[in-house]
Amino acid sequence: MAHPPTANPVAAELWRLFRIWAALLVLGGAEFAASYLPLPRSLRPLVILPGALMVAAVAVGFMEVKRGIVLARTFAVAAMFWLLVLLALGSADPLTRTDYRVPNAQVR
């Protein structure tokens, strides 16, 4: 592993893919381990963060979004943008609403 093959273009590409695969396994392990952290229930979605890095690694490493054509990058960025809009607008209500407890006697 100390001397990665670079003379052969296929070997160099396989070496690059192998490193991405290894990084994905490490990130998956980190995500798995993070799920055992004693986080409060409301903060537990933070264990998804290594998963977000894994998604980026697959997109950049295997799907070649950075090396690919400009139009592909545009679609990838648009997908992330509209996904953020969807999730931000959709979750704005539940995440900002204040609940007031009502005694059972007042419930009609």
Partner 1 sequence: MASAVHQDFQYSSPSHQAETAIAGMWLFLTTEVLFFGGLILCWIYARHWNQAGFDAGARETKLWIGTLNLGLLISSSFIYTAGIAFIRVGNTRRLIQCCSLTLLLGLAFLGLKFGLEWHDDFAGHLFPASADFKIAGPEGGGARLFFIFYFISTALHGLHMLIGIGLLIWIIRRARREEFSALYHTPVQVVGLYWSFVDIVWLTLYPLIYLVGRG
Cβ burial, residue 15 (10 Å; 0-12/13-18/19+): middle
Non-local (6+) Cβ contacts of 72 within 8 A are 65
Contact 63, 24 (CB under 8 A): no
Instruction: Identify the residue whose tokens are 């290894």.
Output: 22
Q: Which of residues 20-49 bind partner 1 (CB under 8 A)?
A: 20-21, 24-25, 28, 31-32, 34-39, 41-42, 44-45, 47-48
Q: What is the spatial distance between Cα 33 and Cα 35, in angstroms, rounded to a whole number? A: 5
In the bound complex, what is the minimum distance in angstroms from residue 83's beta carbon to partner 1?
5
Instruction: Work out which of 2, 71, 102, 107 binds partner 1, going by CB under 8 A.
Output: 71
Q: What is the spatial distance between Cα 28 and Cα 54, in angstroms, rounded to a whole number? A: 8
Residue placing its CB nearer to partner 1 in the complex, 56 or 103? 56
DSSP secondary structure letter of residue 63: S
Residue placing its CB nearer to partner 1 in the complex, 2 or 70? 70
Give the footprint of partner 1 on this chain (CB under 8 A): 9-10, 13-14, 17-18, 20-21, 24-25, 28, 31-32, 34-39, 41-42, 44-45, 47-48, 51, 54-55, 58-59, 61-63, 68-69, 71-72, 75-76, 78-80, 82-83, 86-87, 90-91, 94-95
